[in-house]
Amino acid sequence: MESKKLGLVGLTTIVMVSMMGSGIVMLPASMAQVGAVSLLSWLVTALGSMAIAYCFAQLGVFCPHAAGMSGYAEQAHGKSGFFLGSYLY
Alpha helices, H only, the chain: 8-25, 27-32, 37-62, 69-77, 79-88
Q: Is the pLDDT of residue 6 over 80?
A: no
What's the average model confidence in pLDDT over 27-37? Answer: 75
pTM: 0.51
Calpha distance 19→22 (Å, rounded): 5
Least confident of 12-21, 29-38, 46-55: 29-38
pLDDT band at 87 (very low <50, low <70, confident <90, very high): confident
pLDDT tops 80 at residue 67: no
Residues with Cβ < 8 Å from 59, sequence gap 6 or more? 72
Q: Note the pLDDT of residue 66.
A: 66
- 27 against 19, higher pLDDT: 19
The more confident residue out of 47 and 66 is 47
Q: What is the CA radius of gyration of the chain?
A: 19
